[in-house]
Amino acid sequence: MSMLQNPILRGFNPDPNIVRVNNDYYIATSTFEWFGGVQIHHSTDLVNWRVIGQALNTVEQLDMRGVPDSCGVWAPQLSYNNGRFYLVYTNVKSFDGPWKDTPNYFVSTTDITGNWSQATYLNSSGFDPSIFHDDDGKSYLLNMLVDHRNNALFGGIVMQELCLKTNKLIGDIKPIFSGTKLGCTEGPHILKRGDYYYLITAEGGTGYEHCISVARAKNVFGPYQVHPHNPVITAAHEPSNTLQKCGHGDFFKRKTVIGTRYF
């Protein structure tokens, strides 16, 4: 049996997001101002990984002209629905001063090793977008809300329905989570298990206090009840821990194949 040893991706691989499709695992990572955008990693055992490409390879998909250092692609998210991969990302144009320029886009493909579609613009209300595909056939876009008032910046998590037939946002924008006392709530992802929707967020800022918090609700729009023992993952106050500043994350069900090296 192969054994996991952290970090499973070494070097510059920030804001990892993982999705499992059948017997394959895929991780997307931020690329900031580097081009092509969004590095995709693949594994069948969670131990051995290889880069299978960059999703954003054209200027139409990722126009970073004039983008300053440390802007560009932030916190991409991969999802899979009805035979198609979806990749949603922010192309941060400016982050100086009280006004932030954070347009969000998505691309899609049926072949994750091939070419992705042209980019579809979604909104500019905040960064760290994600797409949740519910089991009733509806899909939703989530992102943190940039609050420009008094330079507060982090204004909680908002969600809006996304029609995948027209590639357009429909219905009202709804605030679903204001965050916890840890603050700096970003990186929202939703998963559903049983009767509950689980909202996973990054909190605490991107320094050593970075962490993962979880809340749950029986309605996709909430109200969300926070986990009593948040944060569920953090390296804060653990200076000897191999992993530090860990805040963006997901939960997924691993495959179990008896009699093989998979676990």
Span 70-91, pLDDT tens digits = 999 999 999 999 999 999 999 9
pLDDT at 244: 78
* pTM for this prediction: 0.91
Judging by beta carbons within 10 Å of its beta carbon (0-12, 13-18, 19+), is residue 104 exposed, middle or buried?
buried
| Rg for the chain, CA atoms, rounded | 18
Q: Beta-strand (E) ranges in the chain? A: 17-21, 24-29, 37-43, 50-56, 72-81, 84-92, 104-109, 120-123, 130-133, 139-147, 153-163, 168-177, 186-193, 196-203, 211-217, 225-226, 233-234
pLDDT at 150: 65
Question: Which residues are 91's β-sheet partners?
Answer: 73
259: Cα within 13 Å, side-chain hemisphere = 0
pLDDT at 101: 92
Q: Which of 251 and 108 is assigned the larger pLDDT?
A: 108
Q: What secondary structure does DSSP assign to 170-202, as a single string?
A: EEEEEEEE---TT---EEEEEEEETTEEEEEEE
The full set of domains in the chain, from first to last, is 17-234 (2.115.10.20)
pLDDT band at 149 (very low <50, low <70, confident <90, very high): confident
pLDDT, tens only, 2-24: 677 778 888 888 899 999 999 99
Contact partners, residue 83, CB within 8 Å, separation at least 6: 110
C-alpha span between 216 and 257 (Å, rounded): 30
C-alpha span between 138 and 133 (Å, rounded): 6
C-alpha span between 47 and 149 (Å, rounded): 45
- Closest by alpha carbon to 39, among 57, 20, 66, 21? 57
- Closest by alpha carbon to 35, among 57, 20, 18? 57
Cβ-contact 67, 93 below 8 angstroms: yes
Question: Active-site residue numbers?
Answer: 15, 186
- Closest by alpha carbon to 262, among 91, 74, 70, 43? 43
Q: Give mean pLDDT, residues 159-166.
A: 97
Q: Give mean pLDDT, residues 59-77.
A: 93
pLDDT at 165: 95
Q: Which of 158 and 229 is assigned the larger pLDDT?
A: 158
Q: What secondary structure does DSSP assign to 139-160, as a single string?
A: EEEEEEEEE-GGG-EEEEEEEE
